[in-house]
Amino acid sequence: MLLSLHIIKIEPGHYRAHVMVGREELGTIDTVSIGAAIREAGGQALPDLSGYHVWHAHVCAGTCTPSNMRIDPEGLAQRLMALHGQFKS
């Protein structure tokens, strides 16, 4: 199973990540950073979970395994921020 992790900035130091399967929301994660949201989602033990499509606003870092999300959440967060800067809406 692949899920989507949609991370949005609520205000400085407050991010909300929506864990989705299709259009159905499975839950939310409130954190202080994009990296923290990625790390927490990657640490969730869900049966049959292969990975996440990781989004921040309108850009996607790609499809990531939970283990990569736990190992290098800050690297993924930096990738998202760089993409976000390239493709400002």
* DSSP structural state of residue 1: -
Instruction: Check if the beta carbon of residue 51 is closer than 8 Å to that of residue 58.
Output: no
Per-domain boundaries in the chain: 2-86
Bridge partners (DSSP) of residue 30 are 16
- Sheet containing 14-21: give its strands across: 24-31, 14-21, 2-11, 51-56, 59-64
* pLDDT single digits (tens) 52-61: 999 999 999 9
* pLDDT single digits (tens) 68-82: 999 999 999 999 999
User: How much is the pTM?
Assistant: 0.92
**Alpha-carbon span 77 to 67, nearest angstrom:** 15
* pLDDT single digits (tens) 22-38: 999 999 999 999 999 99
- Residue type at 73? P
**Per-residue pLDDT at 2:** 95
